Structure formats: structure tokens, C-alpha cells
Amino acid sequence: MTPARDRVLSTATRLFYAEGIHTVGIDRVIADASVAKATFYHHFKSKEDLVLAYLATEYGRQRTVLSAVPGTGLTRLAATLTKIADLSAGPGFRGCPFLNAATEYPDPATPVRQLVDEYRGWFRTLMFDLLTEAERPGAAEKADLLLLIRDGITIAGGLGDQAAVQAGLRTALAAV
Amino acid sequence: MTPARDRVLSTATRLFYAEGIHTVGIDRVIADASVAKATFYHHFKSKEDLVLAYLATEYGRQRTVLSAVPGTGLTRLAATLTKIADLSAGPGFRGCPFLNAATEYPDPATPVRQLVDEYRGWFRTLMFDLLTEAERPGAAEKADLLLLIRDGITIAGGLGDQAAVQAGLRTALAAV
DNA sequence: ACGATACCAGACAGATCTGTCTAGTATCGA
DNA sequence: TCGATACTAGACAGATCTGTCTGGTATCGT
């Protein structure tokens, strides 16, 4: 609702994603967002608070994007995987924000890491549910695999490796 | 040969891998390595120089480990993939050092990123050669896939996701 | 009209970062 | 024995980091 907070969050999202979390300082964020420092600390109690807000927003965005994929069962599953591959191969893609954040926060006890686990758990459940709906045998094992291939696709996409992205997508589609 | 340099490099390897590159400062490295600051800058011209030395060392280690895997063709390929999965599931594993470094250096033009590309290229070639030796059809596409699964296995292992590691290994073995 | 809230500019503290420099000791090959 | 090399301790510069604080203006609901 408040414009200054929104400006901070969208600026932080852009900078954190493009350049990494540790390399982008608060001063940089507030300068790019044209916001006073006191205003920033009025809305966020610390930098980590901003990082968590950034990831929570991304989490919501992902859920929105993937829940908008049409179809049911196998059709929707295939469309979902294709969507992810397309996004990962697109311009400006710099890897999965959650995997990137996990690398920058090596301690698994960190709130950031818990959010990453939550995100991956959500994706695994989504895969499991769609596999179950399609009455696929071994839904649990297949969901684990699709999660791993998703991770691999986002890594490959982030590194500009289009061949691996396509290989991953083909295998994911063949597995379901 | 020089003990101080070795101490710096092994300390940096331990700290960079466990805690990340940007979060570990030079002061921390030289303190843990019990080395004077002037000595550090005598052997390394900058922190980035140390980072590159760290990654180059890891690169060499990986080549040593995987070239020591016994067997030929399919047998060796399967043993190699199993070895990677075992290492990724082991204690103290915190993800692939190269993928971690790539996340911390988003600019693809960076020397660090070029080394990461070189590492992944080497692994892809290794897969391709073993597939070709085993007279597998579609070696190029399979090599792309095995590289992507390798990436996924190291990610899953770094996050403590044993189920995904096993799912990835099964699929990799089934694909060859 | 008034109180709370949102916002501004910018100084400031205290820590930490990379990298340089001074000044000196120890070792070792030629 | 001499000169190069490896090494020590630690001060220092200059930048940058997070977070606090002062002191104010503007907006808005009641």
C-alpha cells in the first residue's frame, strides 16, 4: 500500500536477483529506490527482514504463475514443466532466487534457508499432486526427480546453457 | 612448496566452501591461517586471485577423483555417477564449489565464471567420451542430461535432500 | 483541528572490508 | 658472505557496511 515500501521492495528484488544479496548494500537499495534511510528502517527492521520479504514475494509470484497454468493432470504437469524451462531459458534469467539465496546463506538454521526448504517442499507437493491426479505410479519418487530436474534446469538456464535446459525438459516430460 | 601459501590456500578452501566467498574476509583467512598480511599479498595479488586459486585447486581435485574411478565405458560411467551421488550425500557437503561460486559472481564475463564454464565443459566432455566409448546413441544429448542431473544432485545434496539425490542417481543410471 | 503515520535529508557511530606500507628477522643458495 | 626470498607484527588509508538518530514536512483519518 505505501509507495515507499513498494519502491524499496521492488528495487531490492531487482538488485538482489541480478547482483546477489551480500553484494548489494542497504545504501544502494535506498538510493535506487529514492527513499530516506529512516523510511527504510521504518518499514523493515533489518536487512534480513528485507531479504525475507523479497523471497516471500517471489514465493507468492511463483505460486501465482504456476497456478495459472491451464489444464489438469498430465496436460497441466507437462505445461508446468515447459513453462519453467521457457522462463529459465529466457532473457534476464539468473537462476532460481531461492537456490541463489540458499548459496548465500549456508547455515540451514537460517530463516532464509527455511523459506527455501518451504519453497522446494511446495514444488514437490505440486508435482506429487499432479502425478497423483494423473494416476501415475510412483508419484513420490517421480516428484523427487522432477524437483531435482527443476533445480537443474534453473541452474543451467542461469548459466546460459540452453542445451542442458532442453535435455532436462525432455527428460522431465518423458518421466511423466 | 612454501608452507605459508599452502596454509592460506587450504584455509581459504575450507572457509570459502563452508561459508561462502563474499562473507569471508581476507583478515579472517590470514588469522585462521596464522599468516601475516604482507605474506598473503606476497603470494596472491588480490582476493580474487585467491578465489581463482581456490577454484583451480578444486578443479584439479575433481579431475583426480573422477579419473581414479576404475572401469571402462558403461561400468566406469555408472561408477562415476554413483561416486558423485555418494559425495553429495556425504557429511560436510555444501554443494558444488563451482555452482556456489557462480551464484556469487553473477557477471558471466568474470574470470570466476569462465572457470565455472570450463569445469562444466570438462564434465560434459567426460560424460560424452564415456558414452561414446560405450557406443551409446545420442551421446551429446545424454551428456547434456547427465550434466544437468549432476548439477541437480549437488544442489539437492547441499540442501540435505537425500530423496532427490537418490532419484537423480536412479535416473542418471537408467539413462545410460 | 489534532494526533498518528509516512516520508524526507543527512549526519553519525562502530564495525569491517581490501590493500599498502614500515620495519625487521630468518633462511638459503651462490 | 651477500643478496634474494619468505616470513613476522601491526599500523594505516580509504571505502563501505548496517543501523540509529535528529529534525523536520506532509498527509490523512477522526
* Domains along chain B with CATH numbers: 1-44 (1.10.10.60), 48-175 (1.10.357.10)
Cell numbers for A31, please give them: 538510493
Alpha helix (H) ranges present in chain B? 3-19, 26-33, 37-43, 47-67, 73-89, 97-104, 111-133, 139-158, 162-175
Name the closest residue on chain A to residue B170, using Cα atoms.
A145
Q: Do A159 and B18 touch (CB under 8 A)?
A: no
Q: Do A100 and B102 touch (CB under 8 A)?
A: no
| Strand C bases, protein C-beta under 7 A | 6-11, 16-23
Q: Give the C-alpha separation, A94 to A58, whole Å.
A: 14
Q: Give the C-alpha separation, B31 to B35, whole Å.
A: 7
Q: Give the C-alpha separation, B152 to B148, whole Å.
A: 6
Q: Is pLDDT of B1 > 90?
A: no
Residue A158 forms contact with B (CB below 8 Å) = yes
- Residue B155's closest CA among B86, B110, B113, B94? B94
Cell numbers for A100, please give them: 541463489
Q: Please measure the distance between the N-terminal and C-terminal CA atoms of chain B and give it in whole angstroms.
A: 42
**Which of A95, A147, A171 has the CB atom closest to B103's CB atom?**
A95
Quote the pLDDT of residue B3.
87
Give A1 to chain B, closest Cα distance, Å.
32
B153 residue type, one letter: I
Give B44 to chain A, closest Cα distance, Å.
22
Alpha helix (H) ranges present in chain A? 3-19, 26-33, 37-43, 47-67, 73-89, 97-104, 111-133, 139-158, 162-175
Residue A109 forms contact with B (CB below 8 Å) = no
**Each residue of A74-118: pLDDT tens digit?**
999 999 999 999 999 999 999 999 999 999 999 999 999 999 999
Q: Do A153 and B153 touch (CB under 8 A)?
A: no
**Each residue of B44-103: pLDDT tens digit?**
999 999 999 999 999 999 999 999 999 999 999 999 999 999 999 999 999 999 999 999
Any idea which nucleotide's C1' is nearest the CA of A42?
C6
Q: Give the C-alpha separation, B52 to B54, whole Å.
A: 5
| % of chain A beyond a pLDDT of 90 | 98
Q: Do A160 and B108 touch (CB under 8 A)?
A: yes
